[in-house]
Amino acid sequence: MKKTSPSSPTTSFAELADWQRLLSAPLPDVDVRKLLQQKNFFRAPKHNDQIARQHSILLDKILGFDLKGLEEKLVKQGRIKLPDGSFEYWGPAIHDGAQTWVGLDVQTLNTPYGVLLRICELLELKNETVIDLGAAHGRLGVVMGAQYPLAHFIGYEYVPERVHEANRIYERWSCSNAKCEVQDLFAKDFVLPEVDVYFIYDYGRHDHINATLGQISLEAAKRPIRLVARGQATNKLIADHHPWALEDYIGAGEEHFNIYQASPETQVAPLEELS
Ligand SMILES: C[S@@+](CC[C@H](N)C(=O)[O-])C[C@H]1O[C@@H](n2cnc3c(N)ncnc32)[C@H](O)[C@@H]1O
């Protein structure tokens, strides 16, 4: 039986070796759960993309995500349809045209934990509801589950295997305020729920993201909302087609994302079609 040892792990979380130690000398879940409550567990030790990725790889392992196995199965399905394809084509080939990024490196597919923590800190989350539109493996739900238990997380994701994995991990770590659901954001009958914060990280095709931004603009016409936009495509679509979001934003100058605030007072432009 695994025991809590006074010598391991260090709880300072100052260098990657501190997380590595947790893998070489695993602790019982009850002790890991306590470590998840420390902010520094989710903070990358340096402002550096490589370190942020390494940190996230270690966290995925500590949390017990089986991302490699899961994504390899999806790639296998993709290869059956398109033997000479690549990550740009396999997703649409097996998911009815949706760009689900099958075959993309999982550390590119998902936002690093350190960036997600920074987003939550800037949002100063209390009891708000956050929706991740295209949640992949639902990492934000783990950060919010561990650090913001009074807030609520909903992740919408097209790929059922990713949704199941996210919910398995939430259950393991008692993230009772987080859930992921299978949802096609571009489905005709999809209605965007009324929540406080919408998060988009380049989830799919540009016309799909643009349509979602149009739906968010309609929500902003009804009540104050915040929109976290990560990725070049989403931020360019906002700059080109959704000036309503640009009026007022926090998180300016952040390297990896913008946080926009909009409300009925903000001028809301009509949804524009992409040519
Ligand atoms: C770049 S990942 C972002 C992951 C997560 N938001 C994060 O930042 O860690 C985008 C996700 O959106 C999903 N996606 C693409 N098209 C979608 C659609 N039409 N409906 C729902 N999810 C979709 C993809 O399968 C992928 O997992």
Residue 29 CA to residue 210 CA, distance in Å, equals 41
Looking at the chain, the whole-number percentage of residues with pLDDT higher than 70 is 91
Is residue 109 lining ligand 1, measured as CB closer than 6 Å? yes
Mean pLDDT of 76-89: 96
Helix (H/G/I), strand (E/B), else coil: 212: helix
Q: Could you report the per-residue pLDDT of 26-65, keeping only the tens digit for each?
A: 899 999 999 999 999 999 998 889 999 999 999 999 999 9
Is residue 9 lining ligand 1, measured as CB closer than 6 Å? no
**Which residue, judged by its Cα, is nearest atom 12 of ligand 1?**
134
Residue 51 CA to residue 47 CA, distance in Å, equals 7
- Closest by Cα among 203, 198, 150 to 175: 150
The architecture of the domain spanning 107-262 is 3-Layer(aba) Sandwich (3.40)
Q: Could you report the per-residue pLDDT of 84-101, keeping only the tens digit for each?
A: 999 999 999 999 999 999
Is residue 152 lining ligand 1, measured as CB closer than 6 Å? no
- Helices 49-63 and 16-24 pack at an angle, to 10 degrees, of 20
Report whether 9 contacts 25 (CB < 8 A). Answer: yes
98 CA → ligand 1 middle, Å: 9
Give the pTM.
0.93
Is residue 60 lining ligand 1, measured as CB closer than 6 Å? no
Q: Could you report the per-residue pLDDT of 161-187, keeping only the tens digit for each?
A: 999 999 999 999 999 999 999 999 999
What pLDDT, on the 0 to 100 scale, is given for residue 250? 74
pLDDT at 1 over 50: no
Lowest mean pLDDT among 7-21, 38-52, 141-155: 7-21
Residue 121 CA to residue 149 CA, distance in Å, equals 14
| 133 DSSP β-pair partners | 156, 200
125 CA → ligand 1 middle, Å: 23
28 CA → ligand 1 middle, Å: 32
152 CA → ligand 1 middle, Å: 19
The boundaries of every CATH 3.40.50.150 domain in the chain are: 107-262
Place of tokens 């025991």: 3
- Helices 160-172 and 139-147 pack at an angle, to 10 degrees, of 20
Q: Which two tokens stand for residue 204?
A: 């799919």
81 CA → ligand 1 middle, Å: 21
Q: What is the sign, positive or negative, of the torsion defined by CA atoms of 90, 115, 137, 154?
A: negative
